[in-house]
Amino acid sequence: MSVSPTQPVIGGAQVPTDDGRSGPTRRDRARPWKRAPYLIAVALAGVVFTYPFVWLVSASLKPRTEVFDNALVPKTWQWSNFADVWDYAPMLSWIGNSAIVGIAAAVSVTISSALVAFGFAYFRFPGRNLLFGLVLATMMLPQAVTMIPVYLIWNEIGLTGTQVPLWAQNIFGSAFYIFLLRQFFLGLPRELFEAARIDGSGFGGLFWRIALPLCRPALAIVFVFEIQASWNDLLKPLIYLQDTALFTVPRGLKSIIDTFGNGGEQHWEIIMAASLIATIPMIIIFAIAQKHIIEGIATQGRKG
Amino acid sequence: MSTTSAPVRRATPGRSRRNWRETRAAYAFIGLWIVGSLVFTLGPMIASLVLSFTDYDAIAEPRNVGFDNYREMIADPKVAKALGNTLVYAVLYVPTAMVVALALALLLNRLGRGSGFFRTVFYLPVMTPTVAVGALFLLLLNGNQGLLNRTLGLVGITGPNWTTDTDWVKPGLAVTMLWGVGGMVVIYLAALRQVPKDLYEAADLDGAGAWTKFRRVTIPMISGSLFFTLIVQTIAALQMFDQAYTMFFGAQENSTYSNEAALFYVIYLFQQAFQFLHMGYASALAWLLFLIIIVITAVQVRVSRRFVYYEGERG
Amino acid sequence: MTITRRGLITGSLGTLAVGALSACGGVGDSGNDASKGGAGKGDTGALSTQGFGKPDDVGQARIDAFKSAYPNVQVNLNEGDFDPQQFLSAVASGNPPDLVYLDRGLVGSYASRGAIQPLDDLLGGAGIKTGDYREAAIKEVTLDGKVYGVPEFYNTRNILVNGKAIEEAGLTLADVSTTDWNRLHTVTRQLYRAAGGRTTRIGFDPKLPEFLPLWAKANGADLVNPDGSPNLEDPKIIEALTYALSLIDEQGGWSKFKAFRDTWDLFGAGNQFVKNQAAAFPWEGWYVNVLVQSSPKIDLRSTPFTDRQGKPITFQNGSAWCLPKDAKNPAAAVNWMKVMTSTDTWLKAGAARQATVEQNKSIFTGLWTANTAADEQVKAKYVKPGPTGFDKAVENYYAASDYAFGVNASKAGSEIKVAWQEAVNRALSGQQKPDAALRQAQSEASKAFSAAK
């Protein structure tokens, strides 16, 4: 974890702000003690937000009887919890499955959404506004409405019980990412494309050689978002996967909770260890792609 | 949304052959999406509507039952229960999350140096897989020995049984979800940073106090983001599934005893469709949800039109 | 749209055709003289299971027994407990497991839905005699005269008592009795402890909703009628539920009670007896094997659950192996059922448990199976005298196996069970009074019962 849970205040104060466009007024800057109340408030909130993590890590290392003692540092360090998870569940292959599904989902959705977004951003054609309106409309469409017929389609093709339905729909793009990428494409100077056209480049060339390379950060955002979405997805694996060996991380974790949790053996320390294992890859991704993720989220709220 | 009209390119003076080529190329680019939405969105939506008038279990052939499913839906006490739960949760969670996120974003905005770090801290929980969040909060919220109630106990409050008392299950889930409010914080913070400084300075000159500035400058200037999160979070809340299912449902039929209080609409829909294989009935349930979401979103759009300020045509 | 609709129809036709084909295949395979050589004997091919959780020593020994008897069968255990949604999705999509392991109470529902197949034609070929199994278990897996499953464990309930707690309260084992309901109320109150608004010890846990069948029977009623129809609004059942609930209300009410129980270390060294967090509760026999691990620290006592006339009663349940619709290797599946539940195999399992017991310097506390002969032989061979309290507990469970009743089988068994469990949950959480909750359950269950084929 990139955050030191014990010293958020000190650690935080050292990190320079990433952009100074707004923030405190000039008067405050001149008088740093004016910041103190904000710093304290934010630091307190930071502790509240960090503590569950710390609790998770700590509980995953405790023996069963100490899980609820809420001590920050385990009285007894029980590393064997992780061995037990490994022993009970094919955690590693679940992580592998999630990685495969996540990468398939992310690669397909990034390429396809970029294609479609470029179509909407660059060209002016009859029906464009109507179609783009439909893209926006499908963003609002609850997955639940199409869940059953989509299941029946995959069932018809004979792909239920495989991992394909977890990602293959992404080949056709996803409304949200189309919307996001279109914003980025619209931000590119038109002259670049006109120049390439004059040099004899085809539309495909405009896309591959100009639009895509220039929008690499945006593509990274889409890619990472989809990896995360896929890593989180519980509903689709519940519907489509029956073979334990094919489970993804959330589905596998759910089965661990079913076995060891309430009504099961109440081995909360095992569940916490498994939850931690499931979380770590996302934390690593966050550590690597933090800038893209934050930027991507921030973009969402801005007016398109 | 006002996005479709971004006038980036000027129409080139009428060269129709070139336009035709461009149109063809454009459709080639967006063709994937058109095919995809016909097969995976429009088709399924119509199929779902057709199925909602049948009795279908994915094994035997669908049987036309007219409006039976809709009639059953009205009589089914669990539909009312699930709808009620879902709405109560959405009403609890969405406004609370917006207020908390805005408060944190305002603090971060005032903080200046270090805000980047804390933004990361607030965002980190969003990266935790939803199933892990469910498992974790099931323990943190335990009424007898959980962290939350122990902490409340320190200040002399006897906390409720968040996971076992039916009245407190939905507030408990709202607390769980609040941990993931960091995404909204990032959005609001970005919006706050876009607010032009001169507006505040002008307000200062008028002698406006902090509250007036907040109400008259900040809120209108970030109303677009507020509106966006309101819509998105409401739709998401109405489709609550992962955390509630993790905490209160699953293979162990006895896993929890308070789970009717956590029976959210999509969970019930999922159970009907894939646990009992009542695909026709579940399709009817799906359409009801769709209509509810459309109505709620439409109302939100209509109401907020009066309040949302859109910055000119800045792109 | 047209695509989807055509898809639906061809899809269902396809399913029907596959179903018909495999039905023929099933019949052909059941004969020992099947012309396709080894394939018909069920000693080759793949065998995947669903619902059989991570095996313990006893489970592993029996799996090993199968593997050594049928080395050419590729066994693929989908570890994890039975999940109805997982199983039904698998069947609906035409990829069923070759075997499914589920609670016998659910068998009727899945049978009437066609999700599992009758075994009558296959059992004889594999040499499985239903008479070898306890009658109550076979009754649970029989619907309309056809047998749909081979029963495995046979769990019964007795009351386990924490000697330390009753002595602290100045009571004796005889005071913890379900015969006199008024008396039990008083005793529960005396055994219950709370401090600072938090429960610290449960006096008597009526184990709701799971043990409602027991409370109902104690008051002279069955949840399911012999014909399989639900009997949930019987005044005797309402009375039983009202009473069992009052025991919980006596102890701080449900939400506190449950929140406290969730924190127990049920299977660990810090379990609720060691930590004096529980005084008495009815429980299945296998739990003695958990408690024995803390044996010197626990003063275990036990006594049968009795009806209001003082007659010992208990209900039994357990899982059964069933054959899903369209299962691809029925002959091997039936061989599996035979091996997993035969007397020889249970003896091997007993040996494995004995080895574990010796390793842990613990004692053998019995295996509770639906195979009568196996139980007797395992008991004779491995159950040795140990600490008195545990001895007595083991003795009580062996006795209980002989008088246990089962919930009557029903074509809507699963729906009826869900209905009464949810009713109890509603009553526990205070959303409904017991009578209203059970009336709603009765109407839900009746609807499911009349809808079932």
Q: Which chains share 3+ C-beta pairs under 8 angstroms with B?
A: A, C
Amino acid at B184: M
Residue A92 confidence (pLDDT)? 92
Structure tokens at B273: 């469709």
DSSP string, C109-147: HHHHHTSB---HHHHHHHT--GGGB-HHHHHHTEETTEE
Number of continuous H segments (helices) and E segments (strands) in chain C: 18, 12
Least CA distance to A126: which residue of chain B? B23
Percent of chain C with pLDDT over 90: 65
| Residue pLDDT, tens place only, A42-67 | 999 999 999 999 999 999 999 888 88
Q: What is the pLDDT of residue B258?
A: 54
Q: Which residue has the tokens 């949930």?
A: C232
Predicted pLDDT at B30: 93
Share of residues in chain B with pLDDT > 70 (%): 90
Assess whether pLDDT exceeds 50 at residue C27.
no
C301 CB-near residues (< 8 Å, 6+ apart): C160, C161, C162, C163, C166, C173, C176, C389, C392, C393
Say yes or no to pLDDT of A214 above 50.
yes
User: Is residue C308's pLDDT more than 70?
Assistant: yes
Sign of CA dihedral C106, C112, C113, C117: positive
Looking at residues C211-236, what average pLDDT do you find? Answer: 96
Q: B-contacting residues of A 180-239, CB under 8 Å?
A: 186-187, 190, 203, 207, 228, 231-232, 234-235, 238-239
Contact yes or no for B154/B132 (Cβ under 8 A): no
> Which residues lie below 8 Å from residue B285, measured CB to CB, with a gap of 6+?
B73, B79, B265, B268, B269, B272
Reported as a pLDDT band with limits 50, 70 and 90, residue C5 is: very low
Q: Which amino acid is at C412?
A: A
Write the pLDDT tens digit of every residue in C104-161.
999 999 998 889 999 999 998 888 999 999 999 999 999 999 999 999 999 999 999 9
Confidence label for C77 from pLDDT (cuts 50, 70 and 90): confident
Which range (B7-16, B26-35, B231-240) has the least confidence? B7-16
And the tokens for C190? 């005396």
Structural domain spans, chain A = 8-59, 86-301
pLDDT of residue A16: 32
pLDDT band at C369 (very low <50, low <70, confident <90, very high): very high
The predicted model gives B26-37 an average pLDDT of 92
Per the listing, tokens 């076995």 go with: A259
Pairs of CB atoms within 8 A across B/C: 107
Q: Which of residues 96-155 of A touch B (CB under 8 A)?
A: 112, 115-116, 118-126, 128-129, 131-136, 138, 140-153, 155
**Beta carbons of C184 and C218 less than 8 angstroms apart:** no
- Mapping DSSP onto H, E and C, the string for A68-123 reads HHCCCCCCCCCCHHHHHHHHHCCHHHHHHHHHHHHHHHHHHHHHHHHHHHHHHHHC
Residue C229: the pLDDT is: 96
Q: Write the DSSP string, B144-209.
A: TT-HHHHHHHHTT-----TTTSTTTHHHHHHHHHHTTTHHHHHHHHHHHHHS-HHHHHHHHHTT--
Give me the pLDDT at residue C273, please: 94
Distance CA C42, CA C29 (A): 8
Taking alpha carbons only, the member of C396, C364, C392 closest to residue C380 is: C364
- 3-class DSSP state of C10: helix
Tokens of C138: 């076979």
Of B260-274, C13-27, C152-166, the poorest mean pLDDT is in: C13-27
C133 vs A57, C36, C102, C278, CA distance in Å?
Answer: 48, 32, 17, 35
Residue B252: per-residue pLDDT: 58
Angle between helices C388-403 and C372-382 (to 10 degrees): 160
* B153: CATH: 1.10.3720.10
Confidence (pLDDT) at C11: 34
Q: What is the DSSP string of A228-288?
A: HHHHH--HHHHHH---GGG--HHHHHHHHHHHHSTTTT--HHHHHHHHHHHHHHHHHHHHH
- Whether B11 shows a pLDDT value over 90: the answer reads no
* pLDDT tens-digit series, residues A189-210: 888 888 998 888 888 889 998 8
User: Which of C241, C262, C325, C453 best tests the B interface by mutation, with the highest count of B CBs <10 A?
Assistant: C262
Enumerate the residues of chain B whose CB falls inside 8 A of the CB of residue C15: 59
pLDDT score of B7 more than 70? no
What's the mean pLDDT in A245-262? 89
Residue C70 above 60 pLDDT? yes
- Give CA–CA dist C102/C322, Å, rounded: 8
End-to-end CA distance of chain C: 32
C259 interfacial to chain A (CB closer than 8 Å): no
Reported confidence tier of residue A293, pLDDT bands at 50, 70, 90:
confident
Of A114 and C296, more confident: A114
Phi–psi pair at C320, nearest 5 degrees: -140, 155
Report residue A285's pLDDT band, with 50, 70 and 90 as the boundaries. Answer: very high
Task: Indicate whether A17 pLDDT > 80.
Answer: no
CATH classification code of C157-315+412-451: 3.40.190.10
**Better-predicted residue by pLDDT, A21 or C316:** C316
Interface contact A251, partner C, CB < 8 A: no
Q: Is the pLDDT of residue C396 over 90?
A: yes
Report pLDDT for A291: 87
Q: Helices A91-122 & A175-186, crossing angle to 10 degrees? A: 50
Is residue B264 domain-resident?
Answer: yes
pLDDT of residue A262: 67
Name the DSSP letter for residue A66.
G
For A122, residues 6+ apart whose C-beta sits below 8 A from its C-beta are A185, A193, A203, A206, A211, B9, B26, B29
- The CATH number that domain A86-301 falls under is 1.10.3720.10
pLDDT at C267: 83
The answer to whether C204 touches C252, Cβ cutoff 8 Å, is no
Residue B14, pLDDT above cutoff 60: no
For B293-297, the CB contacts below 8 A with 24+ separation are: B293/A140, B293/A142, B293/B235, B293/B238, B296/B234, B296/B238, B297/A140, B297/B231, B297/B234, B297/B235
In this predicted structure, what is the pLDDT of residue A10?
A: 26
Is-contact B164 C258, C-beta < 8 A?
yes
Write phi, then psi, for C267 (nearest 5 degrees).
-110, 10
Each residue of C239-270: pLDDT tens digit? Answer: 999 999 999 999 999 988 988 988 888 888 88
Taking the domains of chain C in order of start, what are their residue ranges? 35-154+318-399, 157-315+412-451
Largest CA distance in chain C: 77
C46 has a pLDDT exceeding 70? yes
Residue B5: its pLDDT value, please? 39
Is there a domain that residue B48 lies in? Answer: no
- As a whole number of angstroms, the distance between CA A252 and CA A238 comes to 10
Q: Is the pLDDT of residue A1 over 70?
A: no
Average pLDDT for chain C = 87
Give residue A86's pLDDT band: very low, low, confident or very high (50, 70, 90).
confident
Q: What's the rounded mean pLDDT across residues B56-78?
A: 88
Phi, psi of C440 (to 5 degrees): -60, -45
Q: Is residue B112 part of a domain?
A: yes
pLDDT at A6: 28
The residue among C41 and B231 whose pLDDT is bigger is B231
Residue B15's pLDDT band (boundaries 50, 70, 90)? low
User: What HEC string does C376-434 produce?
Assistant: HHHHHHHCCCCCHHHHHHHHHHHHHHHHCECCCCCCCHHHHHHHHHHHHHHHHCCCCCH
Q: Please, are residues A232 and B129 in contact by the beta-carbon 8 Å criterion?
A: yes
Q: Does domain C35-154+318-399 have CATH number 3.30.1330.10?
A: no
Q: Contact A49/B122, CB-based, under 8 Å?
A: yes
Cβ of A275 within 8 Å of Cβ of B132? The answer is: yes
- What is the model's pLDDT at position B315? 34
Which tokens is A78 given? 């029980």
Q: Which helix (H) or strand (E) holds C183?
A: helix C181-191
pTM for this one?
0.83
Residue C190 has pLDDT above 60, yes or no: yes
pLDDT for res A263: 63
B22 pLDDT band, cuts 50/70/90, is confident
Q: Which one of C429, C432, C440 makes the best mutation probe of the B interface by having the most chain B beta carbons within 10 Å?
A: C429
Q: What is the per-residue pLDDT across C273-293, written as a single tens digit (0 to 9) for each?
A: 999 999 999 999 989 988 988
CA distances from A188 to A185, A209, A210, B147, B154 (A): 5, 13, 9, 50, 56
> How far, in Å, CA of C299 to CA of C278, rounded?
12
What contacts C436, CB < 8 A, 6 or more positions away? none
Do B129 and A231 lie within an 8 Å CB cutoff?
A: yes
- Domain that includes residue B214, residue range: 70-305
Taking a C-beta distance cutoff of 8 angstroms, is the pair B69, B269 a contact?
Answer: no
Least confident of A4-18, A66-80, B47-61, C130-144: A4-18
User: Total structural domains in chain B?
Assistant: 1
Which of the four pLDDT bands, split at 50, 70 and 90, describes residue A99?
very high
